[in-house]
Amino acid sequence: MDKPENAWLEVEGLTFRYHTRQEPAIQDLSFDLQPGEVMLLAGASGCGKTTLMRCINGLIPKIYRGNLEGQVRVFGKRVNEMSMAELSQSVGTLLQDPERQIVGSYVLNEVAFGLENLGLPRGEILEKVDRTLEYLGISYLRDREVFNISGGEKQKIALAGILVMEPRILLLDEPLASLDPASSHEALQLFRRLADDGISVLLVEHRVDEVLAIQPERVLYLEQGKQVYFGDAQGLLDVVDYRRVKLPARAVLRRARDAEPPPELQPALPPRSAQPLIDFQGVSFRYRPELPDVLHEVNFQVHPGDVIAVLGANGAGKTTLVKHALGLLKPTRGQVLLEGKDTRKLTVAQAAHTLGYVFQSPTQMLYAPTVEEELAFGPRNLSHPPEQIRKDVRWAIQTVHLEPELKSPPLALSFGQQKRVSIAAVLAMRSRILMMDEPTAGQDYWNYRSFMDAILQMPGFEAILFITHDVDLAVIYANRILLVSNGRVAADGPPPEVLRDDERLRACRVLPTSLLELNLELLPQTGRFLRAEALAEYAG
């Protein structure tokens, strides 16, 4: 392929195999990235996207070892001939999991970290930090402790720490994973603005439908490490499998008209009953006495048969609320009852017999030397019989499609794979109530639909609750929506009832998606919310 002379990034015949693997992670990739261009890098989890980014930012071969063939050039220089210090001033990388990237205790220190390593004068550092925070609209976080901000806010801080270095090429690895819908929209507009200001942006994202809204100049699509498509965004809509890649709802509708309708999902949960499994009674909470309340007089129940999606802005209090159910946090005022027992009087281990909780960040859960041992740890601590543990570990790992990784170290896997391991670890415990914090973060469309389908159809769960910024996940799977805003319950009810109030959604920083809009349009015919391909038979 002929390369334009002004390409800032050139990749030619790139193949890489990790020394621990038999097969290459990426094979014979060739493309270029132009100044001021947004390029979407898409593909299923494990297709080689993160490996490609490591080849560009120098982590391969300097940190990750293996067999490397082909060339990567940044501004005409071979990456493997550049120092990491030189690369870091030209190429900025935002990782999938901000927990892995943040090293400072306070936001100001974190954003200033890279500049301090360059030895810049303090006055210049502070000026650059303040300008970057203002550019991102997060100046209000400047003096906050990193520990006390939400996952989405941490993502913004990690991005600030990169932009303050003024890179000319920006690599973004799943930057929307921890952001609420309004923040995702703002982030995408920011990436477009950065490109329009001259920065080259390579954006890895599973939420293809959202990225297409900012009109990326080109799309690179990978399957099993191979380059399947490289061209404009419109061409992608006709090439990829809409069952595997999250495309705009109307594009799916157009392509699904002549296809067999998908089988209807039949949840295995029990019928809804009046006796609550979890009961929040006037719950308020603050992290320290001198800080304001994070939750305000929350009254909320979880009943058998509930599939609840918790929606709301970053920092709204969603994770804080859910952690109270397991007893990880105790109310400042009010009480939480788990099957009628006050969580203040229960240990987390006692609560875990009833409730399984998947943390937002998988690194907060994973520690074992292998995936298999990770999955067996919980049920073993709950004194499950050995044969039952083996059976449940097999079911859990099959549910998340990670059977080949049973003997792998969990922390050596990609963020998306780690997230699936953390979900499987809780599934293997066979808790009666399943709570998941951002279960689809870092997941490709096919994988998350597949494991969500399996979870809902597996007998044993009495109720499921998931925190999500993915409105479509709520549209497809929830039978109840809990909308949280500023530590309060803003709405609680059936999805069509809660999600049709556009003004209230936007006030809570939840934006309608193409799938939600299509479902609301066809609701008189369908009577319920459906996935896009199932709507094809109702559309005129």
Where residue 421 falls among pLDDT bands split at 50, 70, 90?
A: very high
Give the chain's largest Cα–Cα span: 70
User: How high is the pLDDT of residue 2?
Assistant: 44
Rg (CA), the chain: 23
- 267 torsion bin: left (phi>0), alpha (psi -120 to 50), beta (else): beta
Closest of 58, 53, 47 to residue 25, by C-alpha: 47
Mean pLDDT, to the nearest integer, of 53-77? 93
User: How high is the pLDDT of residue 153?
Assistant: 82
Taking only the tens place, the pLDDT of each residue in 509-521 is 999 999 999 999 9
Q: How far apart are CA 531 and CA 189, in angstroms?
A: 27
Where residue 4 falls among pLDDT bands split at 50, 70, 90?
A: very low
User: How high is the pLDDT of residue 126?
Assistant: 95
Where in the chain is CATH 3.40.50.300? 267-354+431-511
Of residues 374 and 155, which shows the higher confidence score?
374
The first and second tokens of residue 159, run together, are 């991005």
Where residue 146 falls among pLDDT bands split at 50, 70, 90?
A: confident
Strand, helix or coil at 511? coil
Mean pLDDT, to the nearest integer, of 136-149? 88
What DSSP assignment string belongs to 221-238? Answer: EEETTEEEEEE-HHHHHH
* Pairing status of strand 218-223 against strand 38-43: parallel
User: Could you tell me if 26 and 15 are in contact, meaning their C-beta atoms sit under 8 angstroms apart?
Assistant: yes
User: How high is the pLDDT of residue 178?
Assistant: 74
Phi, then psi, of 127 in degrees rounded to 5: -65, -45
Q: How far apart are CA 174 and CA 308, in angstroms?
A: 25
The total number of residues shown for the chain amounts to 540
Please check the confidence at residue 207 and state whether its pLDDT lies above 90.
no
Residue with tokens 């193949």: 15
User: How high is the pLDDT of residue 229?
Assistant: 94
User: How high is the pLDDT of residue 1?
Assistant: 38
The first and second tokens of residue 257, run together, are 């008209």
User: How high is the pLDDT of residue 161?
Assistant: 92
Instruction: Give percent of the chain with pLDDT exceeding 70.
Output: 99
Q: How far apart are CA 451 and CA 398, in angstroms?
A: 9
Closest of 11, 1, 4 to residue 68, by C-alpha: 11
User: Could you tell me if 395 and 426 are in contact, meaning their C-beta atoms sit under 8 angstroms apart?
Assistant: no
- 337 torsion bin: left (phi>0), alpha (psi -120 to 50), beta (else): beta
Where residue 266 falls among pLDDT bands split at 50, 70, 90?
A: confident
User: How high is the pLDDT of residue 355?
Assistant: 94
Q: How far apart are CA 125 and CA 116, in angstroms?
A: 7
Q: How far apart are CA 474 and CA 482, in angstroms?
A: 10
User: Which segments of 80-220 does DSSP mark as H helices, in order?
Assistant: 84-88, 107-117, 122-136, 151-163, 181-196, 208-211
Mean pLDDT of the chain: 91
User: How high is the pLDDT of residue 89?
Assistant: 83
Where residue 440 falls among pLDDT bands split at 50, 70, 90?
A: confident
Please check the confidence at residue 150 and state whether its pLDDT lies above 80.
no
Please check the confidence at residue 6 and state whether its pLDDT lies above 80.
no
Cis check for the bond before 409: say yes or no (omega within 30 of 0). no
Please check the confidence at residue 175 and state whether its pLDDT lies above 80.
yes
Q: Which long-range contacts (CB under 8 A, 24 or more apart) does 129-132 make?
A: 129/160, 129/164, 132/160, 132/163, 132/164
Angle at 106 between CA 102 and CA 112, to 5 degrees: 70
Of residues 52 and 538, which shows the higher confidence score?
52
User: How high is the pLDDT of residue 105?
Assistant: 87
**Within the chain, how many helices (H) and strands (E) appear?**
20, 20
Tell me the CATH architecture of domain 267-354+431-511.
Answer: 3-Layer(aba) Sandwich (3.40)
Count of CB atoms situated within 10 Å of the CB of 496? 17
**Cα 240 to the chain's mean position, in Å?**
21
Where residue 5 falls among pLDDT bands split at 50, 70, 90?
A: low
* Pairing status of strand 9-18 against strand 200-204: unpaired
Taking only the tens place, the pLDDT of each residue in 87-106 is 888 999 988 777 777 888 89
Mean pLDDT, to the nearest integer, of 306-329? 94
Angle at 448 between CA 445 and CA 450, to 5 degrees: 105
Q: How far apart are CA 379 and CA 388, in angstroms?
A: 9
Please check the confidence at residue 366 and state whether its pLDDT lies above 70.
yes
Its pTM stands at 0.85
Residue with tokens 């780690």: 418
Taking only the tens place, the pLDDT of each residue in 297-312 is 999 999 999 999 999 9
Q: How far apart are CA 427 and CA 374, in angstroms?
A: 12
